[in-house]
Amino acid sequence: MTTKFTPDHEYIRVEGSTGIVGITPYAQEQLGDIVFVELPEVGKVLRKGDEAAVVESVKAASEIYAPVSGTVAEVNNVLTSEPGLVNSDPENGGWMFKIAIENAAELDTLLDADGYAALTR
């Protein structure tokens, strides 16, 4: 199991041909209290870098981009009633959507944990 990161602070945890996407602890900390999460529709086809979801803090909306191309396989509907999970548990309970990865080679363009850590240091 590998986890990769974008410079925009999304993570994608790869399990076989599926990626679980959310935002990093650093990102949730920067955004502050998340009060609303808008999730993509299951079946939606995303290109790498497409706007996939939106998280709203008290003050502002922030787009979440698809780290890789693929098809939305599942969304975390719990976030509709408990958006605060993105703050309290961003890497587990606060995941946003699962994507069927179209081209695994795109993962190589993303940051690894060390590279991401260096970015946010």
Q: Which residue(s) pair with 56 in the sheet?
A: 36, 61
Query: CA nearest 11: which of 121, 118, 107?
Result: 107
Query: Which CB sits closer to other proteins, 38 or 112?
Result: 38
> Can you tell me the distance from the alpha carbon of 121 to that of 116, in angstroms, rounded to the nearest whole number?
9
CB closer to other proteins, 60 vs 105:
60
CB of 1 to other proteins, least distance (A): 29
Measure the CA angle with vertex 49, ends 46 and 50; round to 5°. 45
Taking the complex as a whole, the smallest distance from the CB of residue 59 to other proteins amounts, in Å, to: 5
Residues in contact with other proteins by the rule CB under 8 A: 30, 32-33, 35-36, 38, 54, 56-61
Please, what is the minimum distance in Å from the beta carbon of residue 62 to other proteins? 12
Nearer to other proteins, 35 or 111 (CB): 35
Minimum separation from the CB atom of position 71 to other proteins (A): 21
Q: For other proteins, which is the closer residue by CB, 54 or 107? A: 54
